[in-house]
Every structure is written in structure tokens, then in C-alpha cells.
Chains A and B, each alone.
Chain A
């Protein structure tokens, strides 16, 4: 005799402690098992693409801050690269190094948040690892405040460089950070990287094969965790990435643990990149002498992309010769990584759902734009 069960549909979100913002997931459960999952988006839709059509090229930089608000620096970078491609200019060397450095700092900050929340969703009470992650991230945010006066919505970069040279105290605190952060990171790794409970919770849970990952266009750590050797920093070097040496962690089967592990390793590689940038950077111009109101030639288009912490972030710009882009399309990694969510969830349990969602590391500002 079998037990008669009835599927139960629950809306996870938009108000839920672990949906990373106002995200709604309509999930049908059979007991604890998930039999259907559908993401429902749009609670944070602000129409960034439409707003961009009304603003000039520099003003849009402030809009890009608000996409992935845990990684504004890389958003700025992707956008500025797109505009530079459109104008066919190139930032000065010092600006390139500054951008690379700050983008990598931002990657550390973003990955710390991702890892912290991932562990929080595994259920460490009150988020002890999250607090440790925030403690380290705080120092990065402090440096960003020195750099550009804001901590989250940075607007540090401009088309043609960065808005200003870092102050002298930035360099000393960066040195201090580079010296002290590895031990903080080692502490976090000691805390949970090889923890048995974490292992049994994440190993072989929600695996994503390489074929599936490619077919679903996922990018960034999620793609690399599946074993696909793809990193835009290496494959299509922008800014100063061709001048630094770093390794790329590749996962094996793309389960939750691999995604977590790849992020943890990437933080170490980011540190290496920053160290090399600090060694290599030389005095020089930090910004091109471009007019305040930029105009791109009519009919030109460009697609600027970077390896953002969450994946491939691209800006497609089309200019009609005016002071603002005719069309701006944001290829947001969070949205496209999210298209794989139903595959990851179906067949797993309620507790795994939250963890898988955390392992993709979405950011609603970027999903809904």
C-alpha cells in the first residue's frame, strides 16, 4: 500500500529570509521533495535599460552601480569598457591597472558575501561565517571609501579611465590588507571549508553537468564549477589582465560544493592579481581627456564585457549619434544563471533548494535591472 500524497505549492518569497532580495520562487513540493520550481521575477524592476536611453554616457555610470550592488566596481568597468569600445578609445595604462585592482577587490568583497550567505543558508546560526566575511569585506569597503567617497554605489570609473587617482593612504591600507587578509581567509577556510556537515550537505547535491551549463548559458563561477574552462579574464583579456599572472580554479561536477569551492579559491587568486598590480603600477594619466558630454558616431555599436564576480557581465550599446545611447542592453549574469534554477532544484529537498539558490549567487538588483 502506498501513501496517498498531495503536492503542495509554496511561494518562497518575495518576502523570505534567504531569497537574496525580492525574489519569488513558486515551488511545488511532494513532502520535502521538490517536483516543480518556477522563478517569478520583476519585483525590483527599475527599467535601467530604458532610463539609460535618457541619460548621457557619464550619467549612466551611476545607474550601473545599482545593478549588482554587491559588485558596483565591475559593473562600472563593464560599462566603461563598452563605451570605450564605442568611442574607439583606450584608457591609459595606469587607469587600467587601477581598474583591475579595484575590480579584483570588488570580486573579493562580492565572493565573501556569496560565501557568507551560502554558509548562512546552510544554517550556521546567526551567520557566524557571514560575520567573519563581513569583517573582511568591511576593510575593502573602507578602501573604496578612501578611493571614491562611497562604499557600495561607487561610480569610481568613468569612460576613459577612472575618475581620480587614489589618495596616498589608499596604498598603505591596501598593503596592510594584502598582508592581513590571507590569515582571515585561512580562518574562514578552517571554519567551514572542509567541515563534515557542509560536505554532506553540499557534495553531489544539485550537480550541473558541463554540457548543461554551456547549454544554459551560465557563466562565471557556476560555469567553472561545472568543469568548463572559461574565464573572460584569460580568454579575452581586458584592462590589465593580460599583464598579470593568475590561476583559474575549475570544479569537477558542478555541485553546490564545487560552486562554493571555486569562489573560495578565486578569492586567493584575486589577491595574487592585486599584489601583482601593486608591483606593476606606474605613475601616469588616470583618465583620458574626453569631453564631459560624450557623443559616439552614428550607427556604431559595441559589446563590452567583463568577468564579473557573478559571471559574464556585458553591456551592448548602440549609438544614434546623440549624447545618450540609443539602446543599452545589459547581459546580466544573475538573470541568465537563474535560468538553470529549475534544473538544479527538481528532485532535491527543501533544504537543498535554499543552498542551491545561494550557490548560484544571484543578486536581485541585477536579475530585475
Chain B
């Protein structure tokens, strides 16, 4: 099994240790060797891209260049980090002049970006390197009968020519836990995370629409693979009573948490109590 450069970004370790822990535990159980990258931090997120394109490119090219030193693929649990790295990779491969600019900056830090590294979201690595069949073998506690709606996250799916992500793989990964994927009309729609700094009511509205749509479609809980999306769908739900007078109580789980449960891991190992909307209903179901 190959080793991976694990790029955490800043949001997961700061706000979602439950995501981090469940990912590491699932990876360990499946024999994935995730090694934290050294000397890296934030990807800058779309916000940096919006105001300082060259800075953003350079920050991410630096991360890629560091990974190039040991040659292992980068794996990240965050859609924002994934998009930043993927987009940087894609853009620099197609733009020689920016490539030169970036490398002249990196040179000052003693680095060179070549564009030889692959970037993958954690769930892609799960899917392609471990494979559905291998993972299924580890499912001891199938989530049969539970309906899950998936929020994939925009920056994982689009632009497709940059990210190269196929949403079906997450469907398969969810299905193999025994759960049923519940489709809902606005599955492509954004969670609203990016607009939070400039228009909070709008961001909340978008989160609310998604939760409402999932709930109406009959989902028992939601699956996400990104801290920012998780924040929108999970945390914002608590405020909906104030802003909309609506209560949905739709638990939002990070995918590794779901998989961990199906693999028979204990809720405490994966920080389920840190999820804002209590996931008791699932636990009830599993123990029943």
C-alpha cells in the first residue's frame, strides 16, 4: 500500500477533530498510510484566490512542491483544499508564464514546483486505492435501512475538467455501508459556505434549503466530505429555529464517521458527540 502525503489544511484540525480522527482510524483499519505533511498550513481557500491570485497560486504550488519531494500523492479531507491544489495544478500546467512567476517566488524558499504530483480527496483514495470490495469486507455493522442524502460539495465536483471527480463514487461508498442513498432535487446546489463572510443570511438560506430538501426526500441523515459544508449544514441548522422558526434535526455526518460506524467502531472514537445535531437516531437504529 502506498503512503500518502496527508494535507489537512487548517479547518479540519481546528474545527473538526472528529473528521480528522475518524479519517485516520478508518485509514488505519484499511491499511492506508497517511503521513502528515511538514511545514504546510492553509490553502488560502477561494477567498485568497479571489483577491490575490498569484499569492494563492504560490501558496498552493509550495504545498505541491513539498509533496513532490517525497513523490507521494497528496490526500486531503477538505473540498476547499482539494479545489485549491487541483486548480493550481491544472492552471500552472496550462500557463507557462504563471508557472515561471510562481517558481521564481518559490525559489526564494528553496523550492521548485514541477507539476508531477497527484492530488486526491480522501474519499477518492479510498475508492480507487482500497476499492469498494475491500472496504465492504470490513463492514461488520451494516447501516441497513438508513436513508442518507449526500452533499458532495461544489469544489469537489466542479469544474469537472479541473477536479475530475465523479460523484457516483461517493454514492458507492455510502451504499457499501448498507445505507440507502436518498436522492433529492437540489443535490448539486451549494451549501453557501463561500458567501458566509459577505452575506450571512444568504448563506443560511442556502444551507436551510439543502437540509429541507434532504429531509423532505426522506433522508435520516446527511453525509458530507468537507469541513466547510459540514459547518454549513450541521452548525447552521441550530440557528434555523431563530431565523426561520424551523427545526429539522437532520444529523450531518462526515463520511469517515459513517464508514467507521459500519465498520463497528465506537462512537466515542470518531467524536460523534461533537457533531452539532445529535446523531442519536442513528445510534438507536444501530443498536436496535
Our verdict on whether A and B bind, yes or no, reads: no
State the A residues within 8 Å of B (CB).
none
